[in-house]
Amino acid sequence: MAEPLVLNSVIGFGGAIENGLIAHPDGRTIIYPLGSTIVLRDRADPRSQEFLQGHSDKVSCLALSRSGRYLASGQITYMGFTADIIIWDLESKQLIHRMALHKVKVQALDFSCDERFLASLGGQDDNALVLWDVASGNAICGSPCNTNFTNCVKFFNNSPDKLITAGNFNMNVWTYDAGNNKLRPTDATLGTLKRVFKSVVVDANDEYAYCGTTTGDVLQIALERVLFKNTGPAKGNVQMGVTATCEVPTGDILVGGGDGSLQLLRKMPALAGTKVEGAITSIALADMNARGFTFFVGTAMCNIYKPATSRLKEELVQTAHNDKINGMAFPNEYSEVFATCGTGFIRLWHLTTCRELLRIAVPNLECFCIAFTTDGSAILSGWSDGKIRAFGPQSGKIIFTINDAHQKAVTAIASTADSSRILSGGEEGMVRVWRIGRTSQTLEASMKDHKGPVNCIRIKGSGDECVSASSDGSCILWDLHTFKRRTSLFANTFFKSVVYHPDESQLVTAGTDRKVTYWDAYDGNAIRIIDGSDLDEVNALAVDRDGEALVSGGGDKLVKLWGYDEGHCYFVGVAHSGAITAVGVTPDKQRIVSVGTEGGIFIWDYQRPQTLADI
C-alpha cells in the first residue's frame, strides 16, 4: 500500500474564485484555495503553510465564521452529481461535517453572525438557497432562489435570521421563520433599474447593503424596506464591472473593478484609487487599529496585493500562474531555483522562499517547453510561433531567437552537456540539431522520421546519442554524429515523456496507454511494463540523480514515487486538481516539484523508496 507523499509548500492562488482570499482574525494567517486544496499561509512567511485536503475537485467558494473558528468550503463536481460542502474546525485543522445537497457546484457560502447557521447557494444547475445547522451539519430548510441565476449570499451583521441574495436581475432579503421552518423572501424594489449583481456587502448596522454590478456601479439599498436609495461612484462607473466590495471600519466602501482598479468610496464619491494587474476578485480586511486598517486584494491574474491604507499604494505579496503550466526545468546540478513556462510567460522561482525571481513576458504566444543550457548561461524555450528563444537567466533579456525553427510550434527542447548544441522537436515531427556559436545559430541537421508531434527529447551525457518521444507511437534513438536513427521503440501509445536511467543503460517511457515501460537502451527491447495509472494517461516522468526513484504524474492528478529497481509505487501525492504536465526531482534529492493545468506549483518532500538492499 502506497504511503502519502508529504506536501511541503505550494506556489499558487486560485484567483478566479470570487471572495476566495480571506484574512483570518488571528492577525497571522491568510486563507485561499488552490485547485482542490485550501492553503493556510502565514502572512509574513510564504513558506509557512498548512493544507486542508478533503475536496475531490476544484474548490469554488470559501467562507469564514466571525470568530475565525470555522471555515466552510464548497466545490465543483461533474454534471448530475452533488457537490460537497465541508465545514473545517481551524483550531484543530480537522474536517467536522461534509454536507451534500447542491448539484454540480456550490456558488457561495456565508456564516451567520452567531455562527449557528451556514447559508449555501447552488450554482446555475441548482440555484437553491439552503440553511444548515453548523453544530450538527444537517440542513434546516431551503428554498429555490429565483428563476434567474443568483450569484452571492450574505447574512446580516447583527441578526442571525436575515440574509440577502443577489444575482442576475434579482435581489431578495430572506427572513428565517423558525416557527414554521421556512425562508421567506422579500423582493428588492429597484424601480426601472435592471442590473446583474456580482458582490454584496452589508454595513455594520444592517442599515444598508452595497451591491456591485457588472455595469460598473454600486447600488445602495436600504434594508429595512428593501428600497433602492443611492448609486455611485459619482465620477463615472468602474470599468469592466464591480467584481468585489468590502466595508472598512470607517464606514467607507472598498470597490474592486474588472479592470484592476481599487477605489475607496465615502457616501459614493471616490476618496482614493489605485490599479493592480488583473480583475479584482476578492478583498479581505485584515487588521484594524486607531491609525487605520490593512487589507489584502486577490486578482484574477492570481496575484495577492497588500495596499497601504491612506494612499492605497499597493505592495505585491504573492504571484502565481493564472493559467496552465506547460513545462518546468531545473538548472544543471543546482536546486535553489527552477523555471516554469505557460501562456505568455516564463517565470523563475526560488524554491525555499517560494518567491518569483524573474518574469519574462512574450505576449499572445504560448511557451510549450523550457530547458536550461548545461553551463547555465541561458534559458531555452520553444514557442507556439515556431521560434526558439533564449533568455539570460539573471536579466531576462533575450540572447538570441531562432526564427522558423519549426514549421509549427516547438514542443520539445534540450541542450548538450557542453552547451554547444541545442536539439529541438516540433509539432510537425521534425527533430533538429542547432549549433550555437557566440554570435550565430546554425542548423546542423534535420531528422524527419516521426509522423506526429515530438513531446520530449533527452540527450545522453556523452552527447553522441539522443532519444525523442512522439505522439506517433514511436521513440527513436538518434546517433548525433551521423544524424541517423540507431534504433526505435514502438508501442500502441502516444509517448508523452522519456528519461534515461543515470547509468544510461535503460530508458523509461510513459504515455497515453497508462503504462510506464522500461527499455534496453542498446537494442530497444522492452524489459518491464508497469501500470503507471489506473485511470488516465501518464504525462511526465523524472528520475533522481542516483537512479533510485522514478517520479510520474499525469491525468489522474496524482504524483507517484516508484522504486526504480522494484517498479513498486511507494508514495502517492494528492493535491492537484488538474492534469499534471511536468514533474522534477531537485538535483540534491531534497524535493519533488510538480506543475499542472490548474496553474499551481506543488513542492513535495522527497522520500527515498525502500530498495531491495534495505528489505
* Cell 504560448, residue located: 366
Domain-located, residue 337: yes
Q: Would you tell me how many other CB atoms lie within 10 Å of the CB of residue 236?
A: 10
Unique residue bearing C-alpha cell 436581475: 169
443, 553: one domain: no
In terms of residue numbers, what domain contains 505?
Answer: 491-615
The verdict on residue 169 lying in a domain is no
Tell me, yes or no, whether 610 and 550 share the same domain: yes
Distance CA 41, CA 45 (A): 8
Phi and psi torsions of 102, nearest 5°: -75, 145
Same-domain check for residues 445 and 501:
no
Residues in Cβ contact with 439 at an 8 Å cutoff, skipping those fewer than 6 apart: none
Residue position matching grid coordinates 536550461: 372
C-alpha–C-alpha distance, residues 346 and 338, integer Å: 11
Could you count the other beta carbons within 10 Å of the beta carbon of residue 24? Answer: 18
Q: Distance between CA 373 and CA 304 in Å, rounded? A: 32
Total structural domains in the chain? Answer: 2
Residue 527 lies inside a defined structural domain of this protein: yes
CB of 141 within 8 A of CB of 181? Answer: yes
Among 459, 483, 516, identify where a domain stops.
459
The CB density around residue 570, as the number of other CB atoms within 10 Å, is 18
Q: Are residues 445 and 497 in the same domain?
A: no
How far is the C-alpha of 526 from the C-alpha of 115, rounded, in Å? 61
Going along 134-279, which residue ranges are E strands?
Answer: 139-144, 150-155, 162-167, 170-177, 182-187, 197-202, 208-213, 218-222, 227-232, 242-247, 253-257, 261-265, 270-275
Residues 406, 514 within the same domain: no
Residue 527's CATH number = 2.130.10.10
Peptide bond before residue 609 is cis, with ω within 30 degrees of 0: no
Mark whether 439 and 510 lie in a shared domain.
no
Those residues of the chain that have pLDDT short of 70 are: 267-273, 289-292, 308-314, 611-615
Taking Cα atoms as reference points, which of 212, 218, 259, 214 lies closest to residue 241?
A: 214
Is there a contact between 419 and 408 (Cβ–Cβ < 8 Å)? no
Tell whether 609 and 508 lie within a shared domain: yes
**pLDDT score at 301:** 81
- Integer CA distances (angstroms), 177 to 144, 254, 587, in order: 16, 33, 63
Closest-CA residue to 107 (of 183, 196, 167): 167
pLDDT of residue 5: 87
Q: Is the CB of residue 459 less than 8 Å from the CB of residue 474?
A: no
Q: Is residue 287 part of a domain?
A: no
Q: Are residues 325 and 415 in the same domain?
A: yes
CB atoms within 10 A of CB 136: 9
Q: CA-CA distances (angstroms) from residue 150 to 57, 83, 164, 246?
A: 22, 17, 11, 19
Residue 326 is predicted with a pLDDT of: 93
445 and 504 share one domain: no
Which residues touch 110 (CB under 8 Å, ≥6 apart)? Answer: 63, 118, 119, 153, 154, 155, 163
Q: Contact, 571 vs 316, CB < 8 A?
A: no
Q: Which residue has the cell 466590495?
A: 245
Q: Is 320 exposed, middle or buried (0-12, 13-18, 19+ CB in 10 A)?
A: buried
**Amino acid type, 31:** I
Q: What is the pLDDT of residues 538-578, one digit of tens each?
A: 999 999 988 889 999 998 889 999 988 888 889 998 888 88
Q: Does 272 map to a domain?
A: no
Whether 505 and 429 map to the same domain: the answer is no
User: Side-chain half-sphere of 485: how many Cα atoms within 13 Å?
Assistant: 15
Centre a 10 Å sphere on the Cβ of residue 522 and count the other Cβ atoms it contains: 12
Grid coordinates given for 96 = 467536522
The alpha carbon of residue 180 and the mean position of all alpha carbons in its chain are separated, in whole angstroms, by: 44
Helix-then-strand count for the chain, H and E: 0, 55
Which region holds residue 216: left if phi is over 0, alpha if psi is between -120 and 50, else beta? Answer: left
Using alpha carbons, list the distances in angstroms from residue 560 to 480, 512, 532, 599: 33, 16, 8, 19
pLDDT (0 to 100) of residue 239: 85
What is the 3 state secondary structure string of 31-51?
Answer: EEEECCEEEEEECCCCCCEEE
Q: Kindly state whether residue 426 falls inside one of the protein's structural domains.
A: yes
**Residues 333, 418: one domain?**
yes
Q: Are strands 538-543 and 549-554 parallel, antiparallel or unpaired?
A: antiparallel
Residues 327 and 391 in one domain: yes
Nearest Cα neighbor of 74 from 136, 28, 119, 24 is 119
Instruction: Decide if 369 is inside a domain.
Output: yes
HSE of 513 in the Cβ direction (CA atoms, 13 Å)?
17
Q: What tens digit of pLDDT does each residue of 460-473 get? A: 888 888 999 999 88
Query: Could you give the CA distance from residue 49 to residue 29 in angstroms, rounded to a whole number?
Result: 9
Is 356 among the domain residues? yes
Least Cα distance to 346 among 389, 401, 282 occurs for 389
